[in-house]
Amino acid sequence: MVLSLLSLNVRGFKNVSKRKAIFLYCEGQVNVNCFFFQETQSNKEDFGFWKSQWGNIYLSHGSPRSAGGAIFLHNFDVKIIDHNSDTEGHWLMVNIEVDDTKYILVNIYGFINRTKKQRLFTNINHMITNWKQMYATDKVIVAGDSNVVPDENQDRHPTQHNSPRFNKIISEFSSSLDLIDIWRRKNPNKLQYTRNNSQDSQHSRIDYWLLTSNQNIFNLKL
């Protein structure tokens, strides 16, 4: 079975009409069986209702106005091995098994503050390393809104640099876990961004997929 994934910053999931529209959009993605959402702004009371509307879901709760993450699974034969999340809505991990292969799925919503961001990625690094050993798998998929660009030259516009300037948080995290930025690997020279400011004068690529380098990759969407 092909594992097909989509990641989306929903900027709030509380509004009924908005959530219904997103559910309908996702149901229309007939080839996608795993959805990563950021900024869901959920709480414990939302879990039961959203689960009744969708089915197989996992949440990391944020505040009423920020953070929160979710992984929704849809229309495929999957075994859930384990799941874990924080209490601030900034990370969510689910270990699944598909066709006798285990995958560690990690959904991230990064902090703006650099110190908190560094601590977040350090902690996730440790947890992924532990799960890789515990569940004997090297298949890792990390996605979400990291709030940091991989390369300050290529992934931000306008930029103050005229040569590669890799962000240390992401480069060290990726290197230690043998992860690759799959979109950049496939598009080495392309300038494309996932976030614009309200004046459309600043652009950045802060949403991306990091995958274990030995994976035969499937279908990914941001």
Is residue 97's pLDDT more than 60? yes
CA-CA distance, 102 to 86, in Å (whole number)? 22
pTM attached to this predicted model: 0.95
Q: How many CB atoms lie within 10 A of CB 92?
A: 27
Q: For 54-90, how does the pLDDT look when each residue is reduced to its tens digit (9 = 90+)?
A: 999 999 999 988 999 999 999 888 999 999 999 999 9
Q: What is the mean pLDDT of residues 121-127?
A: 98
Confidence of residue 3 (pLDDT cuts 50, 70, 90): confident
What pLDDT does 213 receive? 81
Q: Who wins on pLDDT, 165 or 216? A: 165
Is residue 215's pLDDT more than 70? no
Residue 93 C-alpha from the chain's centroid: 10
Single out the residue of 77, 96, 92, 74 nearest to residue 26, CA to CA.
Answer: 74
3-state helix, strand, coil in the chain (%, to 5): 25, 30, 40
Least confident interval from 22-26, 147-151, 160-164, 176-180: 160-164
| Structural domain that includes position 100 | 4-221
Is residue 214's pLDDT more than 90? no
CATH number at residue 159: 3.60.10.10
Q: State the total domains in the chain.
A: 1
